């Protein structure tokens, strides 16, 4: 039992389970909009299970697929597999388990979510190999998280409303933007071993401008989304708050100073997602 508990704790640390909050608030936003309020608790519960399981599978598979690359990178050499804390077989088994949980959750929601679940897994797991083939891997990661609101809409309605794709696009570009910034940490390593990223291809200063452009496009899409769903005052305040937080995120890092990158990447992005959800939820409640 002590060994099992240690492995469980290490696995949770490996997949950064607390960072599930990145996409989860956007999924919950779509859930509320699709239901025009709060759907049944059974639906919410299975959406939560599907979200956590999907992200856990994706993160674990990424650590499994990148184990050799992580071992060669000083920044990532202390991760669970390179450090010998978990075996590759254990991590692969965990990935398969989480993928199965995700499929079960999809099946419990409706037929369309079940039919689409393998496609979602292809995107989630396929991201791990994108840096080997394209500098645009950031957009694939963005899509992996951006699918969350569309998936949640389908989970509630059993069909897709094209309007929710605007939020999917916004989340995709938002995640891609901060992943571009995060990849700046590995600029030298990626160039040395031939991995692809925008910082590796364009240089760090140009990558910062690319991230800014992606986040400006994110804000434009959120404005379009608000118009499509006829947001009231609270929703617009939420978008204004997101714009201020994104501006602050970019103000605390620069091409010459990446020291606060973890704060920008992990803390602020969780706040941005949560703030957006809270204001949209308030908008729905006040607009009744």
What CA–CA distances, in Å, run from 146 to 30, 34, 170, 197? Answer: 11, 16, 7, 19
Tokens 């309007």, located at residue? 163
Query: Does residue 15 register a pLDDT over 80?
Result: no
Range 282-285 contact pairs with CB under 8 angstroms and sequence separation of 24 or more: 282/234, 282/238, 283/231, 283/232, 283/233, 283/234, 283/235, 283/238, 284/32, 284/33, 284/36, 284/37
Radius of gyration of the chain (CA): 19
User: Using CA atoms, how far apart are residues 96 and 67, in angstroms rounded to an integer?
Assistant: 17
Q: Is the separation of the CB atoms in 278 and 32 below 8 Å?
A: no
pLDDT score, position 20: 64
The structure's pTM equals: 0.92
**pLDDT, tens only, 128-147:** 999 999 999 999 999 999 99
What are residue 11's phi and psi, to 5 degrees? -65, -45
Nearest residue to 34 (alpha-carbon basis) of 149, 115, 143: 149
Q: Tokens for 10?
A: 């290490």
Domain containing 27 equals: 2-286
Q: At what angle do helices 233-251 and 269-286 cross, to 10 degrees?
A: 170
User: Using CA atoms, how far apart are residues 35 and 39, in angstroms rounded to an integer?
Assistant: 5
What are residue 111's phi and psi, to 5 degrees? -65, -40
**pLDDT, tens only, 42-63:** 999 999 999 999 999 999 999 9
**Number of domains making up the chain:** 1
**pLDDT, tens only, 53-91:** 999 999 999 999 999 988 988 888 888 888 888 889 999
User: Using CA atoms, how far apart are residues 196 and 198, in angstroms rounded to an integer?
Assistant: 7
CATH of residue 67's domain is 1.10.357.140
Tokens 């202390």, located at residue? 78
User: Using CA atoms, how far apart are residues 142 and 268, in angstroms rounded to an integer?
Assistant: 17
pLDDT score, position 5: 65
């Amino acid at each position: 039992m002590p060994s099992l508990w240690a492995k469980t704790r290490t696995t949770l640390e490996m997949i950064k389970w607390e960072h599930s909050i990145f996409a989860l608030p956007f999924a919950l936003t779509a859930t509320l909009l699709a239901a025009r309020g709060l759907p049944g608790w059974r639906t919410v519960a299975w959406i939560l299970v599907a979200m956590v399981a999907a992200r856990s599978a994706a993160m674990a598979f990424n650590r499994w697929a990148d184990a050799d690359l992580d071992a060669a990178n000083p920044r990532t050499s202390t991760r669970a597999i390179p450090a010998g804390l978990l075996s590759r077989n254990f991590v692969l088994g965990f990935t398969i388990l989480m993928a199965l949980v995700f499929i079960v959750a999809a099946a419990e929601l409706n037929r369309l979510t079940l039919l689409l679940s393998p496609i979602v897994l292809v995107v989630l797991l396929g991201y791990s190999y994108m840096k080997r083939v394209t500098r645009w891997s950031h957009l694939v990661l963005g899509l992996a998280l951006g699918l969350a609101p569309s998936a949640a809409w389908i989970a509630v309605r059993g069909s897709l409303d094209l309007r929710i794709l605007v939020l999917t696009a916004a989340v995709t570009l938002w995640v891609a933007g901060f992943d571009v910034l995060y990849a700046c940490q590995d600029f030298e390593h990626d160039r040395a071993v031939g991995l692809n990223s925008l910082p590796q291809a364009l240089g760090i200063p140009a990558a910062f401008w690319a991230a800014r452009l992606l986040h400006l496009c994110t804000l434009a899409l959120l404005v379009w989304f608000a118009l499509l769903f006829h947001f009231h005052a609270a929703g617009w305040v939420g978008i204004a708050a997101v714009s201020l937080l994104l501006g602050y995120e970019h103000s605390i890092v620069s091409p010459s100073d990446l020291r606060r990158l973890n704060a920008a990447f992990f803390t602020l992005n969780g706040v941005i997602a949560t703030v957006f959800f809270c204001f949209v939820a308030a908008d729905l409640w006040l607009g009744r």
